[in-house]
Amino acid sequence: MSKYEEGAKAEFVVAEMLKSDGWYIANASSLDEIAGDDGAPLVRGADDAEITPDILAMKNGRTAWVEVKLKTTGAEYIRKNDQYEHFIDGENWKSYLNIESSSGCEVWLAVVEQPEQTLQRQLIEDISVVGWWSETDVENNDGEKYGEPGVFIPQSDFLPISLPADLAGEICEQRQLNGSAKPDCAVLPSGSEEQSGRADGQIGLGDFATDGGDTHSDATDDDTRDQ
């Protein structure tokens, strides 16, 4: 199974959880053409385009974009920072921030951690960036560790929810037959339901465009993860 097919299954799981929680959804890929071979949907301006998150969701006056990431090995422990982190493609990350600014809508990152059968979700504005992988880092490592520039975000910033058993089987070889597709709490919490884990000193968007700073370039071979 290709990485794209695995990711599509994770999107299906999150979409079903949202619908069970009362959200109306649209797959962003159905709104416009896709961006090249990676299957990323676009919104277009006069002279440029932005990659959109995977799902557009609506409920009770709220509109939210939801980007789904499947991590087949879960979060990875980064010894340097003494915490578990995820790596996200840098260009996509910048596009999601621009989508949030342009649309005025909530933008959520929903990370499906396959080994733990857990959905980690958080508003993108409440996710800290603790480091990045630059073009120079990619070149110095011959693209072997991380194939493109990106950002590192801590797992601790996210709000975890267990995947419903009927849906966990969609992304795992061992299908679970008991349970319901309905989540046991709000998929995209609001107001008092939110518990932001954002840390002080979040790195700004402009910092990703240059080399330097905390690039995680000294990460060990053990500190590798899905992208």
Pick from 149, 106, 146: nearest CA to 129: 149
Rounded to the nearest 5 percent, the helix, strand and coil shares of the chain are 25, 30, 45
Q: What are the boundaries of each domain within the chain?
A: 3-209
pLDDT digits (tens, 9 = 90+) for 32-76: 655 544 567 777 777 777 888 999 999 999 999 999 999 999 999
Mean predicted lDDT score pLDDT of the chain: 79
For 109-120, what is each residue's pLDDT tens digit? 999 999 899 999
pLDDT, mean of residues 21-29: 90
Q: What is the CATH number of domain 3-209?
A: 3.40.1350.10
Q: Bridge partners of 56? A: 26, 65
The predicted pLDDT at position 40 comes to 73
CA distance 22 to 146: 37
Residue 177: which residues within 8 A CB-CB, separation 6 or more? Answer: 165, 166, 169
Separation CA 39–CA 63 (nearest Å): 23
Torsion angle defined by CA atoms of residues 122, 124, 128 and 131, in that order, rounded to the nearest 10 degrees: 120
Mean pLDDT of the 129-137 span? 93
| Helix H or strand E encompassing 40 | strand 40-44
**Which of the given ranges, 94-103, 179-188, 207-216, has the highest pLDDT on average?**
94-103
Distance between CA 216 and CA 63 in Å, rounded?
35
Would you state the pLDDT for residue 172? 53
Rounded to whole angstroms, the Cα distance separating 72 from 67 reads: 16
Higher pLDDT, 222 or 191: 191
Distance from C-alpha of 140 to C-alpha of 194, rounded to nearest angstrom: 40
Is the model's pLDDT at 138 over the cut of 80? Answer: yes
